[in-house]
Amino acid sequence: PGIWRYLELLPVDAPPARSLAVGSTPLVEASRFRAALGVDRLWLKDDTRNPSLSFKDRAVALATARAVDFGFGALACASTGNLAGAVAAAAANAGMPAYVFIPADLEPEKVEHALAYGATVVPVDGTYDDVNRLCLELCDELNWAFANVNLRPFYAEGSRTLVFEIAEALGWRLPDVIVAPIASGSMFTKLGKAVDELARVGLVEPKPVRFVGGQAVGCAPVATAFEAGDDDWRPVREPDTIVRSLAIGSPADGRYALALARQTGGSIEGVPDAVTADAIRRLARQEGTFAETAGGVTYAAAEAARRRGVIGPDDEVVVLLTGNGLKTPQARTFGLAPASGI
């Protein structure tokens, strides 16, 4: 089990000598939500249960394997939160020091998580884009492997294992629609690449898959460009949302995410925070899965795409839940009157 079972499709020559148990997460049939959404079949890809409780472990596993090959002296990252925990855990496992750079006002749970693995956490007074710019400069000066900066090509490829696992769980078939969150757009874009590759190597029958993306309205450069019919995004200088894991105002792969949604007949939906919090509560209470804010955005994006007609009644839909609710406990009561729902 785990992501190394797809070794021939990954940019490494051999499984690393040491690594965390990443991947092989369940694809759960969501029968209550299926009726509510009004689709033929609905699956939740439950990536809340990776080693550091988010899908970032997949990306980081690839970056770490290459960092060891290349002989870097430390693992590092610019993080919106989940990457911090993933890099810290992978570095601990690989026996390397970890340096994680985060916006200073991040959820305390995510900071504690990275600290627990022994990482050095560097809070930066600014947005994620400020953090990212700082890390770009540090790449030139230090012999550190920044998972999502100088090792980004390898990091990005790790996300494809989500699609490999989905297809395998469906008996080597593809669904009609995949719904996923968008921060930098890296994962979303690579899901599209993975679908093409599986068909090309003959593991699945080729089939058009529509891609639906979700962003929080308070930081939605890609969803805004989709709605406006633009080819590229405009930066959001001051993100304002509880969905910190997706709060990237200048999404590096946003252009490609836009193209994927358009070319496949999908959409990119902007979700208000109150709707996200409500989706988190419903996912937990009706399906028994507690997702972080990105999961709420993603399920709500599926609902928006269903209303828009991008998802139809005969579709088989897979919704990605990419992070665990324990990382964003504040979201549970967001938008409710004080003391309600306890």
Question: Which member of 61, 62, 183, 280 binds ligand PLP (CB under 6 A)?
Answer: 183
Query: What does the per-residue mask of binding to ligand PLP show for 237-256, with x meaning CB under 6 A?
Result: --------x-----------
The string of DSSP codes covering 25-58 is --EEE-HHHHHHHT-SEEEEEEGGGSTTSBTHHH
| 294 counts as binding ligand PLP under rule CB under 6 A | yes
Q: How far is the CB of 252 from ligand PLP (least distance, A)?
A: 8
Question: Which member of 185, 239, 266, 270 binds ligand PLP (CB under 6 A)?
Answer: 185
Where does this chain touch ligand PLP (CB under 6 A) — which range of 117-125, 176-184, 204-212, 226-234?
176-184
| 182 counts as binding ligand PLP under rule CB under 6 A | yes
| 54 counts as binding ligand PLP under rule CB under 6 A | yes
Determine the Cα angle at 229 with ends 227 and 232, to 5°. 100
Question: Which member of 322, 325, 328, 331 binds ligand PLP (CB under 6 A)?
Answer: 322
Q: How far is the CB of 313 from ligand PLP (least distance, A)?
A: 28
Extract the tokens encoding 3.
């992501």
Q: What is the DSSP letter of 119?
A: P
| 52 counts as binding ligand PLP under rule CB under 6 A | no
Q: Could you tell me which of 173, 264, 272 has the C-alpha nearest to residue 214? A: 272
Please, what's the b/e burial string for 261-288 (b: 16 or more CB within 10 A of its CB; e: otherwise)?
A: beebebbbbbbbbebbbbbbbbbbeebe
User: Which of residues 186 and 289 has its CB atom nearest to ligand PLP in the complex?
Assistant: 186
- H helix runs in 142-185, sequence order: 152-158, 161-169
What residues line the site for ligand PLP (CB under 6 A)? 54, 56, 82, 181-188, 245, 292, 294, 322-323
